[in-house]
Structure 1
């Protein structure tokens, strides 16, 4: 049986995995530019560039899909609250986006978490 904190952590992990999963969208465009092989100076100057993170593991994707399935038990407003909170937004930012007060948003989020926990235990 999951607790609210464990469920919160699962949704946070699902949010992070969802950002790393490749979209798989192929627009059908081709590049006619020649292949670029940088010289050592260009490589040296690009060392500060951000490195793309590796794709998530299959287990992480499976856990993300499981969390997504749990969202279907919630209303659209509850889903949005759960996903915004999983994204790491503060209650103040969530309140601005949802049009609720901070305490009300927190209360609705907790209610949504409890709803998921209760449905899992059925």
Structure 2
């Protein structure tokens, strides 16, 4: 990847959240049943809801997800929470209720978080004295579509 943009960061975070949703539930080790598995006949299955198929993610997708999980470590806790809530597909109303901000402010924090991650991945050092808007403007200079 030559240059990361906030849009690419957003897509990668969404993919990581999708992979996390598809991973199997963790099982406790040491617990097992000695009972034989019950074999159900066709008559037993009539009227039952079919079990949803679970497609496991590929190893490459899991590797990308593991790499992506560390990206929000340098963000402020609220910014990281907003970024992950949006990656999981939460609506803005739910995000705003969770973090206690209005929609415009929550959106500003979300864009700021994506821009910080993109700058970190591009190895661009950002001064701590820059405001949120100045960091976003730096990213807009690189990606006018932002």
**TM-score (norm: length of structure 2):** 0.74
Whole-Å separation in 1 of the counterparts to 2:37 and 2:54 = 23
Any unmatched runs of 5+ in structure 1? none
Whole-Å separation in 2 of the counterparts to 1:99 and 1:13 = 26
State the match for 1:2 in structure 2: 4
Whole-Å separation in 2 of the counterparts to 1:68 and 1:43 = 41
What does 1:25-104 correspond to in 2, within 5 Å?
25-46=27-48, 48-104=49-105
Secondary structure, counterpart of 1:50 in structure 2: coil
The alignment's C-alpha RMSD in Å is 1.7
Structure 1's consecutive aligned runs of 4 or more residues displaced over 6 angstroms after TM superposition are none
Q: Taking structure 1 as reference, are residues 100 and 119 closer, same or farther at Cα in structure 2, changes over 3 Å only?
A: same
Whole-Å separation in 2 of the counterparts to 1:63 and 1:14 = 7
Whole-Å separation in 2 of the counterparts to 1:114 and 1:8 = 10
Structure ID, larger Rg? 2
Any unmatched runs of 5+ in structure 2? 124-146
**TM-score (norm: length of structure 1):** 0.87
Count of residue pairs the alignment pairs up: 121
Whole-Å separation in 2 of the counterparts to 1:83 and 1:34 = 42
